[in-house]
């Protein structure tokens, strides 16, 4: 198991280097325009060249990357070109807002997916068709449309929840819960659909296997077969989809935060991308790649624990 984990960590590190270096290489073509936007009306060929030298951006990309990666190893991601705020201080507060929405949405999605997927796989008939209809609806209806409908109905017409804005948990827990309710429902709607379909498919395949028929002939109850055997054995593919769904929800936060005016990671990333703030963009890349690698590593380790055969790959 330790060797399996080390292989996965090594692969993740290589992937991190490839993605982050490629990002820096592509951003290097826009250094002049980034500095030009920072200088504003004072921008000209000489002033841009002088600032590039002052910021150290006139060096080759491999040298720049080596310096940046050294900073990453020491927990230093640089500071914003435009505000001077250290990247390591700018990200946590925005990340807390996004996780306040993505975390509950993921939990709700997983619970709904398990319930619908297992119910559809074990009951069949009209129950399965109804569950598949709900899954298909979750696939087809865009999150943006769901968000607009929720705002119009529950915020504008009924006034139960605020339409926009975010309240921190420390300031007012009740108001915090109200401020994230509509965004959480919006994100959970689509997330539950994709995961429920995977749970349903893996459970149906598992329930058709020979060992399940053997357990039934021995008088083992249907509930025990589902909970103790089939659900555990089908957990591997489901965990993979759960991990991918979490990453997808994190990415979709960009649009959801724009609709509900949440000062989260997605909104911050969007504004920084418009500015072309190089150090912050590299910090966001490092976090995004690290998050993806971390989630996939946890999923791989969980699969390796559940299924020893997976450790061979």
pLDDT at position 307, please? Answer: 57
What mean pLDDT value characterizes the chain? 79
**DSSP reduced 3-state for 78:** coil
Helix (H) or strand (E) holding 48: helix 45-55
Query: Bridge partners of 165?
Result: none
Question: Distance of CA 235 to CAs 28, 77, 102, Å?
Answer: 43, 37, 22
**Between 237 and 177, residue with greater pLDDT:** 177
pLDDT classification of 290: cutoffs 50, 70, 90? confident
Query: Bridge partners of 79?
Result: 86
State the Cα–Cα distance between residues 81 and 109, nearest whole angstrom: 39
**Who contacts 68 (Cβ-Cβ below 8 Å, separation ≥6)?**
20, 24, 78, 282
Mean pLDDT, range 147-159, rounded to an integer = 85
State the Cα–Cα distance between residues 191 and 249, nearest whole angstrom: 7
Helix (H) or strand (E) holding 69: helix 61-73
In sign, the C-alpha dihedral spanning 157, 145, 258, 78 is positive
**Who contacts 39 (Cβ-Cβ below 8 Å, separation ≥6)?**
47, 48, 51
Q: What is the pTM of this model?
A: 0.73
**DSSP reduced 3-state for 213:** helix
Which residue, 278, 280, 286, is CA-closest to 61?
278
* DSSP letter for each residue of 105-137: HHHHHHHHHHHHHHHHHHH-HHHHHHHHHHHHH
For residue range 24-49, list pLDDT tens digits in order.
Answer: 888 888 777 777 777 766 667 777 77
**Who contacts 117 (Cβ-Cβ below 8 Å, separation ≥6)?**
131, 195, 196, 197, 198, 199, 200, 203, 238
Residue 113 pLDDT greater than 70, yes or no? yes
Helix (H) or strand (E) holding 268: helix 265-275
For residue range 223-257, list pLDDT tens digits in order.
Answer: 777 767 677 776 666 677 777 778 877 777 777 88
**Between 197 and 227, residue with greater pLDDT:** 197
């Amino acid at each position: 198991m330790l060797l399996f984990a080390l292989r996965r960590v090594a692969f993740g590190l290589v992937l991190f280097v490839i993605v982050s270096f490629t990002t820096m290489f592509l951003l290097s073509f826009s250094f002049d325009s980034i500095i030009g936007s920072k200088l504003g009306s004072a921008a000209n060929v000489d002033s841009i060249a002088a600032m590039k030298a002052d910021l150290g951006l006139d060096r080759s990309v491999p040298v720049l990357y080596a310096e940046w990666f050294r900073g990453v190893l020491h927990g230093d991601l640089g500071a914003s070109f435009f505000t001077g705020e250290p990247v390591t201080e700018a990200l946590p507060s925005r990340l807390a807002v996004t996780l306040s929405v993505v975390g509950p949405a993921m939990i709700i999605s997983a619970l709904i997916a398990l319930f619908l997927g297992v119910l559809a796989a074990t009951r069949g008939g009209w129950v399965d068709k109804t569950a598949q209809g709900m899954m298909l609806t979750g696939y087809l209806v865009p999150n943006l449309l769901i968000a607009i409908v929720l705002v119009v109905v529950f915020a504008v017409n009924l006034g139960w929840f605020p339409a926009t804005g975010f309240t921190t948990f420390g300031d007012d827990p009740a108001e915090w819960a109200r401020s994230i309710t509509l965004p959480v429902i919006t994100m959970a709607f689509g997330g539950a659909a994709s995961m429920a379909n995977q749970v349903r498919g893996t459970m149906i395949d598992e329930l058709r296997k020979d060992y399940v028929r053997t357990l039934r002939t021995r008088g083992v109850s249907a509930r025990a077969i589902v909970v103790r055997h089939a659900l555990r054995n089908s957990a591997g593919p489901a965990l993979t989809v759960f991990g991918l769904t979490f990453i997808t929800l994190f990415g979709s936060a960009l649009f959801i935060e724009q609709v509900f005016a949440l000062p989260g990671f997605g909104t911050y990333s969007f504004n920084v991308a418009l500015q072309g703030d190089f150090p912050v963009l590299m910090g966001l890349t490092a976090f995004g790649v690290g998050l993806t690698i971390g989630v996939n590593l946890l999923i791989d380790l969980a699969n390796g624990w559940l299924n020893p055969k997976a450790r061979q790959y």
